[in-house]
């Protein structure tokens, strides 16, 4: 009966296949646009260590997979959807591993984004990576319950829009609260889903409440850890004997920087 109830909500606007396809496409566009704009403005280049390219290939493959899955279910390609869905069990943990690798490489190579406190970046980024994978695996485990499955994946995907949004927003102007502001902005995606649910069914699906609640609680926990002696020591250990240790731990504007 629970399965039937969950499937019924997909016939309404807030749970329709087309809604989730549009949301998937919009999130993908934001992510791609963020990196493309950064590249076009000369803030980044392809002349980076191999870890950056491997990370990009793995994470953008997930974005492509997510959009393809939304498209496959919208167009009725059920078997393709099920087959591709199994990749999530492998891809989500792989993204966590590669996420940690690129974070450490970036921190040691350049000190990380200058508009974030290093300790907040290390701790918050780590916990959000784990939360992303947890939401994905939970959604896959509940694939028979369509309402939960789609919404948990949407919340998980919203976490990944952070790097794209961070490259589009004027992050230097948001010092010292850049990370928190960026995290809050990523919540716009599940909030849109909540509004769609409310308009279509008169209620917000609990998957959104659990997902968004988890992000908020985890961010509070991340800040408590990051600014404790443990968080500072962990960050210092990551940076030890590397060029990244030469910058201040707190967010700062590099000398001569201009927007």
Query: What does the pLDDT look like over 130-144, one tens digit per residue?
Result: 999 999 999 999 989
Rounded to an integer, the average pLDDT of 29-33 is 96
What pLDDT does 2 receive?
Answer: 36
pLDDT at 13 over 50: no
pTM assigned to the model? 0.91
Band (15; pLDDT cuts 50, 70, 90): low
Burial environment of residue 48 by CB neighbours within 10 A (0 to 12, 13 to 18, 19 or more): middle
Tell me what pLDDT residue 44 has: 76
- Determine which of 4-13, 34-43, 123-132 has the lowest per-residue pLDDT on average: 4-13
Here the tokens at position 81 are: 């959807």
Which string of b and e fits 205-220 if b means at least 16 CB within 10 Å?
bebbebbbebbeebbe
- Is 255 a domain residue? no
The rounded distance, in Å, linking the Cα atoms of 36 and 164 is: 9
How far is residue 34's CA from residue 37's CA, in Å, rounded to a whole number?
A: 5
Task: Supply the range of the domain harboring residue 196.
Answer: 2-36+50-242
In terms of Cα–Cα distance, which of 190, 201, 232 is closest to 20? 190
- Give me the mean pLDDT over the 172-182 stretch: 95
Mean pLDDT of 155-177: 95
pLDDT of residue 242: 98
pLDDT, tens digit, for every residue of 77-88? Answer: 999 999 999 999
Residue 116 belongs to some domain of the structure:
yes
Q: How many domains does the chain have?
A: 1
Burial of residue 71 (CB within 10 Å: 0-12, 13-18, 19+) is middle
Q: What mean pLDDT, rounded, does the chain reach?
A: 92
Q: Give yes or no for residue 6 having a pLDDT over 90.
A: no
Percentage above 70 pLDDT, the chain: 94
pLDDT band at 43 (very low <50, low <70, confident <90, very high): confident
Segment 94-112 shows an average pLDDT of 97
Residue 168 scores a pLDDT above 80: yes
Q: How far apart (Å, rounded) are the C-alpha atoms in residues 215 and 218? A: 5
Is 258 part of any domain?
no
Asked if the structure places residue 248 within a domain, the reply is: no
- At residue 236, the pLDDT reads 98
What is the pLDDT at residue 41? 80
Q: Give dist(CA 106, CA 203) in Å, integer.
A: 43
Query: What is the secondary structure of 174-199 as a DSSP string?
Result: GTTSHHHHHHHHHTHHHHHHHHHHHH
């Amino acid at each position: 009966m629970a399965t039937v109830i969950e499937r019924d909500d997909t016939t309404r606007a807030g749970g329709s296949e087309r809604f989730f396809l549009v949301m998937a496409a919009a999130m993908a566009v934001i992510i791609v646009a963020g990196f493309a704009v950064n590249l076009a403005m000369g803030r980044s280049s392809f002349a980076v260590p191999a870890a950056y390219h491997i990370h990009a290939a793995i994470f953008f493959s997930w974005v492509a997979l997510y959009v393809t899955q939304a498209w496959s279910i919208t167009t009725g390609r059920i078997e393709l959807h099920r087959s591709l869905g199994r990749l999530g069990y492998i891809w989500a943990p792989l993204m966590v591993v590669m996420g940690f690798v690129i974070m450490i490489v970036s921190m040691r190579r350049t000190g990380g984004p200058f508009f974030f406190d290093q300790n907040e970046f290390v701790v918050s980024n780590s916990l959000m990576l784990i939360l992303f994978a947890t939401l994905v695996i939970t959604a896959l485990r509940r694939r028979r319950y369509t309402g939960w499955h789609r919404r948990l994946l949407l919340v998980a995907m919203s976490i990944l829009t952070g790097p794209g949004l961070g490259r589009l927003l004027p992050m230097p102007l948001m010092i010292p609260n850049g990370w928190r502001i960026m995290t809050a902005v990523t919540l716009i995606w599940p909030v849109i889903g909540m509004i769609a649910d409310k308009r279509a069914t008169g209620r917000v699906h609990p998957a959104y409440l659990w997902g968004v609640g988890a992000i908020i609680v985890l961010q509070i926990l991340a800040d408590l850890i990051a600014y404790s002696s443990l968080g500072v020591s962990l960050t210092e250990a990551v940076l030890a004997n590397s060029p990244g240790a030469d910058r201040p731990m707190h967010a700062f504007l590099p000398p001569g920087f201009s927007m």
